[in-house]
Amino acid sequence: MNTLAKYEDRLGTAYRAQWCRAMQKSDYEAVYQVWQAASGESLEHNANCGSCVLHLMSRVGAAYFAQKDAEARVKTSKVKATAQRSVKVKTSK
């Protein structure tokens, strides 16, 4: 996730708007290696092919934002659980 954070704007554009700006080959290869390590899938890829770059960035973007949303939900539920435990109820006797 940390490796992909610097590409978040490009991943978001590819995933949500289905277009992508040109990338440096080294950046493309870094994203591809993260994808391959995380998914175990091998995509047909070529850093000089616009549709290949878009396809990779869209797939990685979908996985990246799904993971990010899942982490946010877990964090939110932990905060709610902590808040519920810390509420003190005053009872009268």
For the stretch 18-76, pLDDT in tens is: 999 888 999 999 999 999 998 888 888 888 999 999 999 999 999 999 999 998 888 77
pTM: 0.74
Least confident window among 7-11, 13-17, 41-45, 59-63? 41-45
Rounded-to-integer distance, Cα 31 and Cα 25, Å? 10
User: Long-range contacts of range 20-29, CB-CB < 8 Å, 24 or more positions apart?
Assistant: 20/50, 20/53, 20/54, 20/57, 20/58, 22/50, 22/53, 23/47, 23/53, 28/53, 28/56
Model confidence at 4: pLDDT above 70: yes
Q: Give residue 33's pLDDT.
A: 93
